Structure 1
Amino acid sequence: MSLKCTVQKDDFIEGLSVLQNVTNKRGTLAILSNILIEATTNGLVLTGTDLEVGLQIFVPAEVDAIGSLTLPSKKIYEIVRESGSASLVIEETENSWVTISAGKSVYNLAGIQSEEYPAFPEYDEEGLVPLEAPVFLDLIDKVIFSIAGEQENIYSLTSVLIEKEKIDSVSYLRMISSDGHRLSIMEKDVAVDVDHLGIEDITLIPKKGIQELRKFCENRDTIDVSFSRKQLVVKDKRAVMVVRLKHGEFPHYRAIVQAVPMDNCIKINRLLFLESLKRINLFTEDVFHTIQLRIEGETMVLSSQNADIGNAKDELKVTYDGEPLTLGFNCRYFIETLQVMECEEVEAYINSENSPCLMRSALDKGFTSIIMPMQL
């Protein structure tokens, strides 16, 4: 039967806009740039996938005739966005074409038969566990900035490692990311028993999946979550997302953390340090963003040099009673770390001029950042 329905613009555009990041990706299969529209007795089900992330959204609609077909995701989104009508009528005609009527505007758009669209992954409804969405938001925000780019040869570094742990009957979720030059760790206690989550020893969520998971959690209080060996499922009453997980090795991050001695501490005002770094970064080389930190007594001197435009120097008051240190670091790594922290005073642990810098604070509970040094 040919699809025919009436849908409100605001409802439709909300669903279509969420799907854009999943479907608008250049790939080898042309149909992946389309969304699947299924008209059921209850309303519309919109589906988008890039074979790594699949997203299904329910949109209320008045359905005159049930059916399904696929339409170009970007073009249908643009049509609805620019429509001056509060509602749209979508009617399938011959050969998978549709007529879209929006007030006095009429559009004819070519689609592709729904039979060619990849099947949405199956999942077990009974395996879903309710979790607070803000927990995932906080975990993701503390680690997403240090995931390796897609050009990284070690593909596991283009993902986030997620772990579960119970300590004295308290359940924790932990996320870890690294691009090979820095390491970010964030853990939070959760109200549910993590034994019910099928998180394996090495469970890797790809960067695209993490980005879409973050968007899914926004403006939601709770979500239902399940992990299996192959996929992560998140769901609420109106949407479900399935992310294909990766498998492989991940750096032994615990050993890296334990290798940093915790007896040589520099205490720095976080916001003053961040502002100083942003000023100094104006004169770093574009590729490595190298800066020098000279720490002696209660003074830290930050400096940078660019062969083409000049140099900069800034000075900060710190709390430190160790031996003088002259250090080289990527300025951008410090900036991105300090931006996700919330404390007034950050504690930086640096043992020597060739050792990594570990940063944490009592206020940023569960968060640890390690940044590797650079040769000056």
Structure 2
Amino acid sequence: MTLNCSISKNVFLEALTALQNISNKRGTLAILSNILIETDDDNILLTATDLEVGLKIKIPAEIKNSGSLTLPSKKIFEIVRESGSDSINIEETENSWVIIHAGLSIYNLAGMPNDEFPEFPLFNEENFVTFEAHVFSNLIEKIIYSIASEQENNYVLTSVLFEKEKRENKSYIRMISSDGHRLSVMEKEISTDVDLLILGKMTLIPKKGIQEFKKFCENRDSVQVNFEEKQLIIKDDNAVMVIRLKQGEFPPYRAIIDSIQLNNKIKIDRLPFLESLKRINLFTEDIFHTIQLDIMEDKMILSSQNADIGNAKDEQSIIYHGEPLLLGFNCRFFIETLQVMEGDTIDAFINSNNSPCLLKSDFDEGFLSIIMPMQL
């Protein structure tokens, strides 16, 4: 059978938008730049995969002829986006070509046979646990900025560690990320019983998967989640995402947290500190963004220097009664951490001139960040 169907432009565009980041990754397999289109009763199924993340979306359509084929993801997205018509009609002709009618516009587009498209991963329909979507959105937002880049030699750091815990009959889930120079931890208490979640010894979600997980949770009230040995599945009534989990050993992050004594505390107003850091960052070297923090009783002086253009200095009022400290840090790391925090006042804990800095606040419950010092 040759595919022939009509789809609402807005519904089609929303689904195609969600698939773009997955299907447009440059790879060795040309078919991965396409999306699979299949009829299913009075719906069509749209599928994209990069072999690490797969997403299948069901949308309503008027099915005139059932069938399946693949079309270039970017080009069909552009056609639908630029269309002035309320509906899009796709009719398959010979050799996987299609004629697309959108109002008075007609397009001939070359597709590829669906038999070359990778099979969507199978998964167990049982063991799904329902969560409020904002729980995961909030977790990811607080840790995504400190995941290592894809160029990192230690590939485990290009993933997020996911954990569950039960304390005093309360359930918690936690995400941890680190790029080797900083560490972010975000934990949330949830109403769902975490004993229902079946996790392996170490659950590592790759960076691309985390990014798509966050997008999946946007504009949804709830999601169903299931962790299997090698994959994570997230779904609702109309879409399912499968993320291939990574294997490896995440660094023992608790030992790093425990090494910082929480008795040498500096209280800082978050927004004035953030604004000061942005000003000081104007004069840092591009690669390391090194700044100097000179901390004394109730005062902190921030300074930076660039060999080519000059230097900058800024002063902030703080609450501190410990020994004077002189440290170097990557300014960008502080900026990115403070941007995801929400409290008006933050607590910074620094033991000595060579110690990492632990940041947290009473308002940002469950969150902490550790930034390693730099040599001045």
- Classify the TM-score, shorter chain: over 0.9
Asked if the contact 1:137–1:218 (Cα under 8 Å) also holds between the matched residues in 2, the reply is: yes
Matches of 1:335 and 1:279, distance apart in 2: 11
Hey, what does 2:39 align to over in structure 1? 39
Amino acid at match of 2:41: T
Shift of 1:200: 1.8
How far, CA to CA, are the matches of 1:88 and 1:140 in structure 2?
Answer: 36
Q: How far has the Cα of 1:361 moved from its partner?
A: 1.0
Aligned to 1:277: 277
Q: CA deviation at 1:104?
A: 1.4
How many aligned positions are there? 376
Please identify runs of 4+ aligned residues in structure 1 that moved more than 2 A: none
Aligned-residue offset at 1:205:
0.3
- The SS at the match of 1:125 is coil
Number of the residue aligned with 1:98: 98
Contact 1:223/1:236 (<8 A) preserved: yes
SS in 1 for 2:209: helix
**For residues 201 and 145 of structure 1, what CA distance do their matches in structure 2 show?**
25
% identical equivalent positions: 66
1:170: which partner in 2?
A: 170
Q: How far, CA to CA, are the matches of 2:50 and 2:229 in structure 1? A: 19
Aligned residue for 1:141, secondary structure, equals helix
CA distance in 1, matches of 2:195, 2:229: 15
> Equivalent residues in 2 for 1:27-106 (5 A)?
27-106=27-106
Matched position secondary structure for 1:198: coil
Superposed CA offset, 1:19-77 (max 9, x none): 00000010010000000000121211000000000000111100011110000000001
How far apart, CA to CA, are the structure 2 residues paired with 1:31 and 1:210?
24
CA contact (8 A) 1:281 1:289 kept: yes
Aligned partner of residue 328 in structure 1, secondary structure: strand
Distance (whole Å) between structure 1 residues aligned to residue 154 and residue 126 of structure 2 = 35
Residue 126 of structure 1 aligns to a residue whose secondary structure is coil
Which residue identity does 1:14 align to in structure 2? E
Local SS of the residue matching 1:56:
strand
* Structure-1 residue corresponding to 2:149: 149
Match status 1:358 vs 2:363: no
Cα deviation 1:297-344 (Å, max 9, x = unaligned): 111000000011110000001100111111100000000101111111
1:198 Cα offset (Å): 1.7
SS of the residue corresponding to residue 277 of structure 2 reads: helix
Answering whether residue 181 of structure 2 is matched by residue 181 of structure 1, we say yes
Asked if the contact 1:270–1:343 (Cα under 8 Å) also holds between the matched residues in 2, the reply is yes
Secondary structure in structure 1 of the residue aligned to 2:319: coil
Q: Distance in 1 between matches of 2:358 and 2:84?
A: 55
Q: Deviations over 1:56-99 (max 9, x none)?
A: 01111000111100000000011111111111111111111111
Residues 280, 313 of structure 1: 8 Å contact kept: yes
Aligned residue in 1 for 2:265: 265
Q: Can you list the C-alpha shifts for 1:133-185, whole angstroms capped at 9, x where unaligned? A: 10001100110000000000000000000000111111110000000000000
Write the mapping of 1:175-214 to structure 2, written as runs, cut at 5 A.
175-214=175-214
**Distance in 1 of aligned mates of 2:251 and 2:260:** 16
1:372 aligns with 2:362: no
Per the alignment, residue 107 of structure 1 pairs with 107
Distance (Å, rounded) in 1 between the aligned partners of 2:219 and 2:194: 24
Give the Cα separation in 2 of the matches to 1:45 and 1:92. Answer: 16
Equivalent residue letter for 1:179: D
Tell me which amino acid in the other structure corresponds to 1:206: P
The answer to whether the 8 Å contact 1:163/1:173 transfers is yes
Alignment of 1:295 onto 2:295: yes
Shift of 1:201: 2.4
Q: Secondary structure at the match of 1:255?
A: helix
Give the aligned residue type for 2:170. Answer: V
Structure 2 residue runs of 5 or longer lacking an equivalent are none
| Separation in structure 2 between the aligned mates of residue 133 and residue 167 of structure 1, nearest angstrom | 23
Q: Distance in 2 between matches of 1:178 and 1:40?
A: 43
Secondary structure (helix, strand or coil) at the match of 2:257 reads: helix
Deviation at 1:192, TM superposition (A): 1.1
Q: Distance in 1 between matches of 2:261 and 2:168?
A: 26
1:307 and 2:278 are equivalent in the alignment: no
Is the contact between residue 198 and residue 229 of structure 1 (CA under 8 Å) also seen in structure 2? no
- Partner of residue 326, structure 2: 326
2:25 maps to what in 1? 25
Cα displacement string for residues 272-305 of structure 1 (whole angstroms, at most 9, x for unaligned residues): 1001000000000000000000011111000000
| d(CA) in 2 for partners of 1:274, 1:104 | 53
- Root mean square deviation of aligned Cα: 0.7
Question: In the alignment, which residue of structure 1 is the partner of 2:338?
Answer: 338
Distance 2:296 2:113 in 1: 70
- In the other structure, the counterpart of 1:11 is 11
Q: CA separation in 2, counterparts of 1:350 and 1:7?
A: 59
Determine the C-alpha separation between the residues in 2 that align with 1:201 and 1:346: 34
Give the secondary-structure state (helix, strand or coil) at the position aligned to 1:134.
helix
Contact 1:23 1:73 in 2 (8 A): yes
